[in-house]
Each structure stands twice: as structure tokens, then as C-alpha cells.
Amino acid sequence: MKAIVFERHGPPDVLKYIEVPQPAIKPNEVLVRVKACALNHLDIWVRLGLPGVPIPLPHIPGSDVAGEIAQVGSEVTSVRVGQKVVLAPGVTCGKCSACVSGLDNRCRHFTNLGYMIDGGCAEFVRVPEVNCLPYPENLSFEEAAAVPLVFQTAWHMLVGRAQLQPGEDVLVLGASSGVGSAAIQIAKFFGARVIATAGSDEKLTKAKDLGADHLVNHKTQKIREEVRRITNKRGVDVVFEHVGTATWDESIASLAPCGRLVTCGATTGFDARIDLRFLFSRQLSLLGSYMGTKSELHTVLKLAAAGRLKPVVDRVFPLAQAAAAHAYLESSSQFGKVVLRV
Ligand SMILES: [Zn+2]
């Protein structure tokens, strides 16, 4: 089969479009003919290499897959050959206490397709049967592939971790990113008021189209000042963080008393500081969030199938041009998802 493979970490041009053997499946696995694979910032981290994370090389990246079942293992009963599927990116042991509690994103063996195992930037990918989710028929393969990781992550952050309540104020950092565009929609779905930030007025217009109530251009405006103005000096109940070092101080300063900051990433750097007096006297909560559960993904896909949540696809590249797609994603000029068509 054709696949995107890298043999060493580095810039986008380490991604090669080459012929590799088709994966062999186990009895509880399926082989999926990939139709579309969406990119995430995770793909950039994996390509560059992360300290202490021994990504097996050579490696096929890609976490977000939509496609059709090509082959089923001998123990598979719930899907058949030819069926359209969206894949849950998280692969776990399925047996531990966390997994059987439905909290599979806490499994010690948790990994994503394309992270510690081969992913979907290929003509075929193998996954456990349990990772096959019902296909939202109203969506194209490119749109369907744009749903799982970002919507599951944003849902887990806002609903699972921050326990967002109707009428609360939410600050969504980086509205143009995949998780940002998902978070705006989920927060609005829960009846929150959304303040969204982005680095250009063009991106802010798109954030408004997704439902953002207030817009902050972080290149020309100071986030904490705009939040204070919009909330009549109170601050927001929830800050949706994934940017990291570049926005951390603004995010903390934007919290209302008893506010919750929830974060799933640090695209601009891992270092942050906090004044502990501010943390305790204002009774703030800092919440980490990692991926999401398969159950949350089932909910998200149901809402996507009903048109209540809409994947935002910025641009589609052919699989062979994965390197160009990575470079485009790294340039941060997109609004929403960059997707590879296979
Ligand atoms: Zn487990």
C-alpha cells in the first residue's frame, strides 16, 4: 500500500510517500481502507520527536480517520466489510479498571493512532473493532475525519473536566485551531457566552460565524483587558487553553473568582508560572485534560450527525502532499482542520 512514512524526526520533508506492506490484523481488529485522515498539532510533535517519547521508527502518522472496512478479524462481530466508519483515535488495553469504567483516556496503555502505533496517513490502517464508530452520513469523508480528536478533546475539556454550566462565560483561546473551532460550538451548545481570540480579523469573522459572542484580536488587543471590559471586570468562568506559554499569563488574569482554567496542550511552549496568592485568594482551579473517552466521542458523533456540531475543514490535500500539508499547518494560517484525502 501507499503510505506517508518518516524514518527520522525533523522538518516536513522527512515525510516520504512510499510503498509499504499492508498491515496484518489480529482476530479482534479490522483493516480500514482510509478515505480521509485529518491532521492535528499532535502530528507535528510526533514528526519532530518529543523528549522521552520513543516513537517507533519508521513511522506512519495520522490520528483522525474516516474510511471503509476492508477486512475483519475472526472475532469481529459488530462491523462488516464495506461499512463506512469513523475511527476513535485512542487505542487502549480495554481490560484495566480505567478502561472497563469507560474512562479509557486514563488507561496506562493509552495511545493514539499515529502516536506510538502506526496511523492513518496510508491507504490502510488496522484498529481494534471497538474503535469503529457509526458513520455520520450527512458528512463527507473529509468532514467526518475532521471530527474525532478535536471535538472529543474539546468536549472532555469543557464538559468532562470544567463542567461547564449554562449561562457561564467562556474564553476560547486560539479560535482558528481545530480544538478552538470545536470549543466555540460546544460552549454555545451548552448555552454559554463565548469570547474567542484569534490573530487576524478574518479568523475572528469565522469565529463569529461559529457562534462566538465576543471577539479579541490577540495581535492588536490585550486579552485580559478585553475580557475585563466584556465581563464588566468580573472575568470568565472558564478559560479554554491549549496555546501555552504565549497566552498563559493572559489566561490566568482573565479568570473570574472560582474560575476554572482547562488545558490540553502547549503549542507555543511548556513553561508557565503562577502567583500562588492569586490562585488561592481567587479560589481558582487549574485542570489538565487529555484526549477524551470513546463514550464522549459517541456523543460528539451523534451531535455531528444531527448537524448540531459542525466540523470545520480549512483545506484538503492529497495524501502524497502530506509534507506540504504539515508545512501549511505549522504556518498557522488555517481556520479549522487540514485534511488529507486518500
Ligand atoms: Zn486500559
- Tens of pLDDT, residue by residue over 156-204, are 999 999 999 999 999 999 999 999 999 999 999 999 999 999 999 999 9
Output the CA 288–ligand 1 centroid distance in Å: 19
Residue type, 16: K
Output the CA 30–ligand 1 centroid distance in Å: 19
Output the CA 112–ligand 1 centroid distance in Å: 13
Output the CA 103–ligand 1 centroid distance in Å: 9
What is the reported pLDDT for 171?
A: 98
Helix, strand, coil abundance in the chain, percent, nearest 5: 30, 25, 40
Share of the chain above pLDDT 90, in %: 98
Output the CA 54–ligand 1 centroid distance in Å: 20
The distance in angstroms from the start CA to the end CA of the chain is 11
Average confidence (pLDDT) over 221-250: 97
Place of cell 479554554: 240
Output the CA 128–ligand 1 centroid distance in Å: 13
Average confidence (pLDDT) over 125-154: 98
Each residue's pLDDT tens digit, 24-41? 999 999 999 999 999 999
Output the CA 101–ligand 1 centroid distance in Å: 9
SS3 18: strand
Question: Mean pLDDT of all residues in the chain?
Answer: 97
Average confidence (pLDDT) over 326-342: 95
Each residue's pLDDT tens digit, 105-115? 999 999 999 99
| Packed helices 41-48 and 322-330: angle between N→C axes, nearest 10 degrees | 110
- CB-CB contact of 11 with 311 (8 Å): no
Output the CA 315–ligand 1 centroid distance in Å: 35
20 has pLDDT over 90: yes
**263: confidence class by pLDDT, cuts 50, 70, 90:** very high
Output the CA 153–ligand 1 centroid distance in Å: 18
Output the CA 89–ligand 1 centroid distance in Å: 15
> Model-level pTM?
0.96
Output the CA 125–ligand 1 centroid distance in Å: 21
Share of the chain above pLDDT 70, in %: 100
Average confidence (pLDDT) over 313-337: 96
Place of cell 468532514: 143
Output the CA 291–ligand 1 centroid distance in Å: 14
C-alpha–C-alpha distance, residues 319 and 329, integer Å: 14
Output the CA 295–ligand 1 centroid distance in Å: 14
C-alpha–C-alpha distance, residues 48 and 8, integer Å: 9
Let me know the angle formed at the C-alpha of 149 by 175 and 311, rounded to the nearest 5 degrees: 55
Output the CA 149–ligand 1 centroid distance in Å: 19
Average confidence (pLDDT) over 299-304: 97
Residue type, 192: A
Output the CA 222–ligand 1 centroid distance in Å: 43
Provide the H-helix boundaries in 4-95: 41-48
**18: confidence class by pLDDT, cuts 50, 70, 90:** very high
In Å, what is the CA distance from 158 to each residue of 171, 192, 241, 294?
11, 11, 11, 16
In Å, what is the CA distance from 326 to each residue of 5, 35, 102, 218, 294?
13, 18, 33, 24, 27
Average confidence (pLDDT) over 74-100: 97
138 has pLDDT over 90: yes
What is the reported pLDDT for 212?
A: 98
**332: confidence class by pLDDT, cuts 50, 70, 90:** confident
272 has pLDDT over 90: yes
Output the CA 111–ligand 1 centroid distance in Å: 10
Output the CA 268–ligand 1 centroid distance in Å: 31
Cell numbers linked to 193: 457566552
The dihedrals phi and psi of 218, each to the nearest 5 degrees, come to -70, -10
